[in-house]
Chains A and B, each alone.
Chain A
Amino acid sequence: MMDLTQPQWVRHTVLHPFEGFEDLRWKKGGTLKYTAVIIAALFLALIANDRWCGFQFRPLPDALFSVVPYLMRSVVYFLAWVVGNWAVCTLLDGEGTMKNICIYSSYALIPYIVSTFINVILSHILVQEEGVFFAAVYYIGLIWSGLLLFSAVKAVHQYSITKTAAAVLLTFFAMLVILFLAVLFLSLFQKVYVFFYSLYTEILYRIRV
């Protein structure tokens, strides 16, 4: 019973929002390799959405393209989510390990990624006046992924529904704190770097004179 290969596990969890992740946990399925692939796909999907869509839906001119925001919106947000969720749920008696949170959360993102790619294809066929189809696909993907994410958190930590909701909210808060601290540290380290660099140039001048 339920002896699925890894690709079959992906299919099973995505198509069974309510018990898929429980089964995954029970049979100890899922692999980090797929997480890496999925996050890479998310990164690509975000870029594709802005760059490979039909010209009538192009949101920003080519000249303004920068890869950093896309990296931020995929990899950094995902890592912040995993770390934040792990930190919060360890305190809230969650049973999930960091590895499992990684795997389950990334599987939950698949519908959003797929809907984004579908939109990229649709954008070459539709015109602006038919944008409502676009929005429909987008929201279906988003809500599906949201549901899966909720179910993933619930399964990985073995929570009740209310506790899961609380955990998700707290995780968002934790993400905010993490990102805030990250920005703080970045600017701090930059200042330290500038300090040492000016020290270095100063010494260099003194030696020369």
Chain B
Amino acid sequence: MKLNMLRRRTAAFLLTFAAAASVLTLTASADEPYEVYNYNRLGEAVPSQAGYLAERAVSGIDLGAGDLNSPQDFCRGADDCFYIADTGNSRIVKTDGELTKVLHIYSSFTMPDGSRTTLKNPKGIFVAPDTGNLYIADTDNSRALVCDTDGNVLLEITKPDSPVYDQGLTFLPQKILCDGAGNIYTVLSSTTKGAAMFAPDGTFLGYYGANAVARTAKVIADHFWNIIASDEGRKHSNRAAPTAFDNFDIDSEKGFIFTSTSSGTTDTDIVKKVNPEGYNLFSYLSGHKWGDLFSTWYSGTSYKTRIVDLDIGEDGSINCLDQTTGRVFQYDKEANLLFILGGTGDQVGTFSSGGSVTAVETRGKACEQICVLDAGKGSITVFSQTGFGETVHTATDLYNRGYYEEALEPWQSVLRQDGNYRRASLGISSAYYNMGRYKDAMEYAKRADASWVYNKAFARYRSEWLRNNMNKLLVTAVLLLTARLAWKRYRKRKGGAPA
């Protein structure tokens, strides 16, 4: 009897131990070389499930193209090939989509007159999704090139001699892209007026999409003094200039151009979504903080997010690359933060601190892969979506398209895997609201700490409750009134003074 009990206890103990051990190994194997976090409602960084895992890092030697020398940009074409602007080697490297081998190396191009021309520190590359033509910002040759995939130059854009373009300025294209109509945009380092815009035939059209001036106290004071100053005084006053954006990407499907500003001194217009008229559709997000919410202070230096590149995924997600910390911040198309990946370090998935990452690209219908170009190491790191990331993407996509009920199932799965994921609670709340389950919607709005969502669900819950219980309410009210009247009569008849 006693022995039996002992045996049972030992078995139970062993079982518990095995369970504990399996949990321990699980957490150990899921380790990332960096802390995976996300921001909660209060803006606190809390541990989170990883949406992406670093899969591998590919160097130029792995590809068979020799060392990449400080590559500044890369672009994925519609043919699912990567085109890397190998800046220090003054060439363009074309690889396959899996980043396994080199397909072609463009080191010289054929001009329309038949002569050969070479690049000099090209810092920007873009591949038109429709024609497949290459757009190269040939920076130190002060020109931009448009060529076909065989290396024949179709158009050479040099410094415009238009009166709109100040001839005292240099013409050093940094980044380049083209829109659906074939207009060419290039970011110059010499102006804050926006990107220089060219017609498909190369004529200069003007500037496009400048940032707004940050409303600092000084700017407002200057404006005030300008109002009361004399004309002579106005001539000598400071002109408020915005910070220039230094990178951009185009959502080819919708035609919006997204710009990013890496300046460490401003918080205005860090990421813009610019429509063809040049109007910033993200201007309503003026209080929105892109990247890390707080800058870190460490021995006298401030480490603030500096977004050097962004990429618009095929699902519309906005992937911002922070040069300071080597992190990619992935937002959905409504600018809600989805995932934070990457970091500083020496392992695969982390990058050397002090800003060596230069460009980010995504791959796949739902951003299954995120590739980060590291100029310091001359390598490309490939992050792959995890199961959790896939669920979040599915749910976000359904939710943003208005399929709240269909998004319920994936959101529930997200919440099971990461109880801190606030947008899941919001999504479930919206789903229940649409299904008419207002009580549940209220419950999940409470969990998400979203009083305005709760308010909406509560209003419907209340009117439903009133509709169902109106009879009872009326009956109770009538009964109470009669009881009161009867009580008064009774008191009066007894002759007591009413209280």
Q: Is the CB of A55 within 8 A of B451?
A: yes
- Residue A63 is within 8 A (CB to CB) of chain B in the complex: yes
- Residue B446 is within 8 A (CB to CB) of chain A in the complex: yes
Segment among B72-80, B176-184, B404-412, B452-460 that sits at the interface with chain A: B452-460
- Residue A56 is within 8 A (CB to CB) of chain B in the complex: yes
Known contacts A56-B454, A56-B455, A127-B455: A63-B42 contact under CB 8 Å: yes
> How big is the A interface, by class?
10 to 19
Max count, chain B CB within 10 A of own CB: residue among A56, A61, A125, A128: A56
Max count, chain B CB within 10 A of own CB: residue among A127, A128, A129: A127
Q: Is the CB of B451 within 8 A of A127?
A: no
Q: Is the CB of A61 within 8 A of B458?
A: no
Q: Is the CB of B442 within 8 A of A55?
A: yes
Name the A residues within 8 Å of B446 (CB-CB). 55
Q: Is the CB of B455 within 8 A of A128?
A: yes
Residue of B nearest to A125 (CB): B462
**Segment 431-461 of B: residues with Cβ below 8 Å from A:** 442, 445-446, 449, 451-452, 454-455, 458-459
Residue of B nearest to A54 (CB): B458
- Residue A207 is within 8 A (CB to CB) of chain B in the complex: no
Name the A residues within 8 Å of B442 (CB-CB). 55
Name the B residues within 8 Å of A125 (CB-CB). 462
Partner of A58, one of B41, B42, B451, B462: B451
Residue of B nearest to A59 (CB): B451
**In the complex, A130→B113 CA distance in Å?**
75
- Residue A57 is within 8 A (CB to CB) of chain B in the complex: yes
Give chain B's interface secondary structure class.
helix
- Min distance, Cβ A186 to any Cβ of chain B, angstroms: 28
Q: Is the CB of B462 within 8 A of A127?
A: yes
**In the complex, A56→B455 CA distance in Å?**
5
**Segment 455-493 of B: residues with Cβ below 8 Å from A:** 455, 458-459, 462
**In the complex, A57→B458 CA distance in Å?**
11
Known contacts A61-B41, A61-B42: A56-B451 contact under CB 8 Å: yes
Contact with B along A46-70 (1 / 0, CB 8 A): 0000000011111001011000000
**In the complex, A57→B462 CA distance in Å?**
15
Q: Is the CB of A127 within 8 A of B42?
A: no
Partner of A56, one of B41, B42, B449, B458: B458
Q: Is the CB of B42 within 8 A of A55?
A: no
How many residue-residue contacts, CB under 8 A, span A and B?
28
**In the complex, A58→B446 CA distance in Å?**
10
**In the complex, A128→B454 CA distance in Å?**
10
**In the complex, A55→B41 CA distance in Å?**
16
Residue of B nearest to A128 (CB): B455
**In the complex, A55→B451 CA distance in Å?**
6
Name the A residues within 8 Å of B454 (CB-CB). 55-56
**Segment 30-61 of B: residues with Cβ below 8 Å from A:** 41-42
- Min distance, Cβ B183 to any Cβ of chain A, angstroms: 46
**In the complex, A158→B311 CA distance in Å?**
76
Q: Is the CB of B451 within 8 A of A64?
A: no
Contact with B along A146-160 (1 / 0, CB 8 A): 000000000000000
**In the complex, A177→B452 CA distance in Å?**
41
**In the complex, A61→B41 CA distance in Å?**
9
Q: Is the CB of B455 within 8 A of A61?
A: no
Name the B residues within 8 Å of A54 (CB-CB). 458
Residue of A nearest to B40 (CB): A63
Residue of A nearest to B452 (CB): A128
- Min distance, Cβ A123 to any Cβ of chain B, angstroms: 11
**Segment 1-60 of A: residues with Cβ below 8 Å from B:** 54-58
**In the complex, A109→B372 CA distance in Å?**
64
**In the complex, A61→B447 CA distance in Å?**
11
**In the complex, A64→B42 CA distance in Å?**
9
Name the B residues within 8 Å of A129 (CB-CB). 459
Contact with B along A126-143 (1 / 0, CB 8 A): 011100000000000000
Residue of B nearest to A58 (CB): B451
**In the complex, A127→B453 CA distance in Å?**
11
**In the complex, A56→B449 CA distance in Å?**
10
Residue of B nearest to A61 (CB): B449
**Segment 105-137 of A: residues with Cβ below 8 Å from B:** 125, 127-129
**In the complex, A8→B458 CA distance in Å?**
40
**In the complex, A55→B443 CA distance in Å?**
10
**In the complex, A61→B451 CA distance in Å?**
10
Name the A residues within 8 Å of B459 (CB-CB). 127, 129
- Min distance, Cβ B14 to any Cβ of chain A, angstroms: 40
**Segment 345-381 of B: residues with Cβ below 8 Å from A:** none
**In the complex, A61→B446 CA distance in Å?**
10
- Min distance, Cβ A35 to any Cβ of chain B, angstroms: 27
**In the complex, A128→B458 CA distance in Å?**
10
- Min distance, Cβ B113 to any Cβ of chain A, angstroms: 69
Q: Is the CB of B458 within 8 A of A127?
A: yes
Name the A residues within 8 Å of B451 (CB-CB). 55-58, 128
- Min distance, Cβ B382 to any Cβ of chain A, angstroms: 38
Residue of B nearest to A130 (CB): B459
- Min distance, Cβ B429 to any Cβ of chain A, angstroms: 12
Chain A: residues with CB nearer than 8 A to chain B?
54-58, 61, 63-64, 125, 127-129
19 more contacts with CB within 8 A, not counting A55-B458, A127-B458, A128-B455, are A54-B458, A55-B442, A55-B445, A55-B446, A55-B451, A56-B451, A56-B452, A56-B454, A56-B458, A61-B41, A61-B42, A61-B449, A63-B42, A64-B42, A127-B455, A127-B459, A127-B462, A128-B451, A129-B459
A-B contacts, 9 of them at CB < 8 A, read A55-B451, A55-B458, A56-B452, A56-B458, A61-B41, A63-B42, A127-B455, A128-B452, A129-B459
In the A-B complex, list the 4 residue pairs whose CB atoms are closest, starting with the nearest.
A56-B455, A127-B459, A128-B455, A55-B454
